[in-house]
């Protein structure tokens, strides 16, 4: 029989924790976050169970949780939804077996690990520009570059580079439209607000709400 539950006993504590959090110069890590050999900027937030491996994660960006990022460079002001995977590892399909057994050899008692495979993976870094939104469950494949201001739809699999301010969806991801007209995009790229220092950003913050005002004042 289904039961109506008004609220789980721990719900208030969890809600208050999220509502009361304050971001700052130090990154904010939720539970079960793993960061290895990476650089993380200010005013950032890594949601629960985010893995960040040999990557950079720049100012004002966040993950919503259950995100894996390997060998990638993430720009500023990026919004990364839950269950996104950036740069999932490739396997050596040219070998007799593409299993871990030929390169994670220590685990199987077969000698030292195969450094060549890991270097091969590192060589195919992903680059995510500033102000990119990656929707729920999106996958960005090795070596892909996503331009500034782009949007990747939920569940999309990005196998090719994405132009600035383009919106892509599907498997494999294809462009459907741009966020703004080309002349507006050109001006936004010239203004490059993501490079403003904190004081300038605070001073001009209210102008972020209106694209026409923003372009007129700073374009």
Catalytic residue flag (residue 91): yes
Longest Cα separation, the chain:
65
Q: Is 73 strand, coil or helix?
A: strand
Residue 52 DSSP symbol: E
Cβ proximity of 92 and 98 under 8 Å: yes
Catalytic residue among 8, 30, 91, 136: 91
Cα-to-chain-centroid distance, residue 164 = 15
Would you call the peptide bond into 172 cis, given omega within 30 degrees of 0 as the criterion? yes
Cβ proximity of 45 and 62 under 8 Å: yes
Residue 108 DSSP symbol: G
The catalytic residue positions are 91
């Amino acid at each position: 029989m289904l039961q109506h539950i008004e609220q789980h006993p721990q719900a208030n504590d969890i809600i208050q924790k999220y509502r009361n959090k304050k971001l700052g110069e130090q990154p904010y890590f939720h539970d079960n976050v793993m960061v290895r050999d990476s650089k993380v900027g200010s005013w950032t937030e890594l949601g629960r169970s985010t893995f960040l491996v040999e990557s950079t994660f720049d100012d004002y960006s966040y993950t919503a949780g259950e995100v894996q990022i390997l060998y990638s460079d993430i720009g500023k002001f990026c919004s990364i939804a839950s269950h996104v995977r950036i740069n999932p590892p490739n396997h050596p399909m040219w070998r007799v077996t593409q299993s871990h057994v030929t390169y994670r050899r220590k685990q199987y008692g077969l000698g030292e690990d195969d450094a060549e495979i890991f270097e091969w993976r590192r060589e195919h870094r992903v680059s995510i520009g500033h102000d990119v939104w990656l929707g729920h469950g999106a996958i960005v494949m090795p070596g892909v570059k996503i331009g500034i201001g782009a949007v990747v739809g939920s569940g999309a699999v990005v196998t090719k580079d994405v132009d600035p301010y383009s919106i892509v969806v599907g498997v494999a991801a294809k462009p459907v439209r741009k966020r703004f007209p080309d002349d507006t995009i050109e001006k936004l790229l010239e203004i490059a607000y993501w490079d403003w220092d904190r004081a300038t950003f605070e001073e001009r913050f209210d102008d972020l709400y209106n694209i026409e005002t923003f372009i007129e004042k700073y374009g």
